[in-house]
Amino acid sequence: MSTIKDIEARKILDSRGVETVEVRISTDSGIIVTDSVPSGTSTGSMEAVVVAPEVAINNVNDIIKPKLVGLNPAEQGKIDQIMLELDGTPDKSKLGANAILGVSLAVSRAAAAAAKMPLYRYLNSLFNLVSGLDIKPAIPTPMMVMIEGGKHASEGQNCIQEFLCITSLENGGKIWNRLKRNLTRENLGVTLGLEGGFTPKLEYDEDALRLIMEAINEEGLVINENVKLGLDIAGNHCQMSHDDVLSMAERYPIYSLEDPFAENEWQTWGQLKNSLDQLHREYLLIGDDLFTTNLQRFEKGADNFDANGIIIKVNQVGTLTETLTVIAKAVKSNFTHVVSHRSGETMDTYISDLAVATASKFLKSGAPFATERVIKYNRLREIAQELGKNT
């Protein structure tokens, strides 16, 4: 048995040049692991609370560490529970979700190393234990942003936050590069948003769809055969009516729709879901800010059939155990879960292993560009090779 010898938190910069937390755990058997905490720009109001990085670091070093040293990192449930009790608030505002999450993730990585298992395999057994399910690891399809707007771009750009292509990494790379050539040719500019997608100034949001469809076509790819289209409207910040969204879904072959409305417009979500059902085609209506990886909020939406998909972001909830519990509930409710990065990312590839471990159908990790995004897709390839499958 391995035990936790030391826990040390420190500040690092995320992909936006903003400070975040990295946690390093060492065990008595000589294992040393680190994990870091991502953070969002277009957040939901029900997310667990992030405290200032220096406060989070002091909380890890002075409050959390003394309680965890000497424990077996394989006791994830117990360790997460200790941190929840030390915090004692419903939204983790005392210690900070950034303090708790950094430790929670690094504990599992230490346990995987102690068990001499790749992280995805260890997380898979933990997930099956927490859920009572028998899920096999599976490689998700990348859900890659091509064009960005809203809070991920500068003022005055598209209202819709993300225009996505769901396809292989290879196809995604081709579409992104084709788009770059086309945007240059049309003098629309090739500046990038926070997640590596382009942020052209367009007259209408729908022009972004047109540009992406053109690039797909020019690459000899076929929509709904080898590429699917997705939108993250981020409805907390971009207001569209039910009829606006439905009309777009009718006129374009859009497969996935994330946060079409704000987080408290439950009724409009339900209404849209009914309307999409009547189109008699495959679709994914995904709650991100709507659910914020929060069990109570998810149960409310699942009971009312307000959506059929959920975004999973580890830092929205703040511990691994709670994340796995929400995913388990999603799987049991026949929801498609999509493990996702944040706009503020680090070089940590934890979410790739988590997606494989829970057989997430898709992994949302930004454009096929920008190292902190690509490293997560490449980690999928590495795992796929291990599993003897392709991405």
Question: By C-beta, is 178 or 341 nearer to Zn ion?
Answer: 341
Q: Which residue number places its CB atom closest to ligand PGA?
A: 40
Instruction: Please state, in angstroms and as integers, the Cα–Cα distance from residue 179 to each residue in 147, 169, 256, following that order.
Output: 9, 15, 20
Contacts of 292 (CB under 8 A, 6+ apart): 44, 46, 47, 263, 313, 316, 317
CB of 43 to ligand PGA, least distance (A): 5
Question: By C-beta, is 288 or 306 nearer to Zn ion?
Answer: 288
User: Which position among 313, 322, 364, 372 bears the catalytic label?
Assistant: 313
CB of 181 to ligand PGA, least distance (A): 27
For the chain, the C-alpha Rg in angstroms (whole number) is 20
Residue 116 is encoded by which pair of tokens? Answer: 């001499």
| Among 148, 232, 265, 345, interactor with Zn ion by CB under 5 A | 232
Determine the Cα–Cα distance for residues 41 and 51; give it in Å rounded to an integer. Answer: 15
Question: By C-beta, is 27 or 43 nearer to ligand PGA?
Answer: 43
- Is 195 designated active site? yes
> Can you give the binding site for ligand PGA, defined by CB under 6 A?
40-43, 161, 232, 234, 288, 340, 342-343
Instruction: Please state, in angstroms and as integers, the Cα–Cα distance from residue 42 to each residue in 33, 45, 233, 253, following that order.
Output: 30, 10, 11, 26
Of the candidates 324, 105, 204, the one whose C-alpha atom is nearest the C-alpha of residue 97 is 105
**Contact, 102 vs 24, CB < 8 A?**
no
Residue 13 three-state SS: strand
Determine the Cα–Cα distance for residues 380 and 138; give it in Å rounded to an integer. Answer: 10
From the list ligand PGA, Zn ion, none, pick the one residue 308 interacts with, judged by a Cβ distance below 5 to 8 Å according to partner type.
none
Site size toward Zn ion (CB under 5 A) is 3
User: Which position among 148, 162, 195, 345 bears the catalytic label?
Assistant: 195
Determine the Cα–Cα distance for residues 80 and 59; give it in Å rounded to an integer. Answer: 15
Question: By C-beta, is 65 or 341 nearer to Zn ion?
Answer: 341
CB of 348 to ligand PGA, least distance (A): 14
CB of 343 to ligand PGA, least distance (A): 3
- Is 47 designated active site? no
CB of 288 to ligand PGA, least distance (A): 5
Q: Which of residues 239-258 bind Zn ion (CB under 5 A)?
A: 258
| Among 265, 288, 345, 348, interactor with Zn ion by CB under 5 A | 288
Determine the Cα–Cα distance for residues 65 and 49; give it in Å rounded to an integer. Answer: 20
Binding site for Zn ion (CB under 5 A): 232, 258, 288
Where in the sequence numbering do the catalytic residues fall? Answer: 195, 313
